[in-house]
Structure 1
Amino acid sequence: MSEFRQKCIGKANLVGSFAAIPHPVAVEVMALSGLDFLCIDWEHAQISRDMIETMVRAADVRRVPAMVRVPGHAPEAIQAALDSGAQGVLVPRVSTAAQAEAAVKASRYPPLGERGVGPGRAAGYGYRIPEYLAGANDRTVVAVQVETAAGLANIDAIAATDGVDVIFVGPGDLSVSIDAIGPQGADKLNAAIRTVIGATVARGKTSGIFCASPQAISRWAAIGASFFVLASDTMFLGAGAPGHAAPAAPRGPGPRDELA
């Protein structure tokens, strides 16, 4: 079992972030920040399939585990992410136990699943297939994202699904799905999140959640969550740039104006 998966299922407190900027430099910068892992956001960011592998490779250079949030439930996307060398997948919009089971099957090789064998980067481009197959099922983190009203209603069954390592709350989509948007919906959303975390912990699974701020991490850790995705590279960039940008010094016209 990989150290990363062991920490995940062992409920070690892990703080990562979404990587949404499709460039290896951005991944390396984030990897150097001290995060426990990165989750490449293939679902919402404009990242091409070939760039996924480049971003995973950049994380590997800095020895930081990289997961991929895949665009949906398609087995082909899950396999592509894992073949790139990612140490796990985060599958969005899982609303039923059947969908959770399908995510597990797509992520694991037989007899535990139905993942296809291919000569991708993870398997040394075909040179290390037997070695990779021998340990891939134990090393791969399978995380499913609960972020719908249906997922909330079915959380007990989802949490009971064999092979799921992490159940991850997506507060943004969940708030929309249960009509708990904005300050007026805060109590309703918080109650829903507590329900998901409680059911997950009761089943012995690892509970995770997206947090926009470090303060939110402390709040949800207090009731059992241990796997956190803190903001994203784009959010850090957007928050940091205004605070560090000094007003431009007045200057007269010059060659730079003509070239602008």
Structure 2
Amino acid sequence: MADSSSCSSASSCSRGSCEGCPSAAAAKKGVRNTAFLEAPNKNSNIKHVIGVVSGKGGVGKSLVTSSLAGIMARAGYSVGVLDADITGPSIPKMFGVHGPATGNDEGTFPEVAEDGTKIMSINLMLDDEESPVVWRGPVIAGVVKQFWTDVQWGDVDYLFVDMPPGTGDVPLTCFQSLPVDGIIIVTSPQELVQMIVKKAYNMAEMMHIPVLGLVENYSYISCPDCGKKIEIFGESHIDEVAASLNVPVLGKMPMDRSFATAADAGRIYDLDNTYLSEAKLVLEKL
């Protein structure tokens, strides 16, 4: 049977149904299928779309996303964050923005943080930020697409997409519907998580999306007295995993109270996250 890994209905594919399918044709050529790409809002001019993903939750993916946005904004680029984590949105809180988002006949306007970062998240559309989003996968995936087609992003050099953990509906929708230039995979030092990294990597490979590199969060804590690095989750294996996948390590972030303090205060952009300096160089080469 033809490779249906990038097919929108892969779960129901058969040899017969895949005949003539654009996804199958693209897979045979080893290139990304663009048949399902959605056109952006007519008032959007976005140069680069970067997905930030993780194979599992709790590894600090939103922290890495917001840190990358802050780094690029500080460097003078126009930056946006599309919060695709519909059921667990945290980006607005970290940037200190609140809804309700406004718009006109041509679409919705993103909220703008103090540092100029443009934000769109489901929390900016809800009457109560603490209300749970209890929706099924197809509805959630549809909202993510609307954040691309119905939001007037304006001129943006780098749009970071903060995806939910795992390899389900939303990452699949983003990979198929958005012109993703590459993804950054976030992980932590535990060996179990390294296995999950390969799941995220393999999904990107199946969809022919470039993997720009890996970021390890919670790498260590620094002793406040002597400065010694303490690896509380055990020895890091990120370099070995990156070498096996032939991708670079873009940063190793420690556990640092200042990160949580800035995020809770809604001023994550105040952090000058030097741990991700290599990621900045990779992004600027796109």
TM over 0.5: no
**TM-score between the two structures when normalised by the length of structure 2:** 0.37
**TM-score between the two structures when normalised by the length of structure 1:** 0.40
Larger Rg: 1
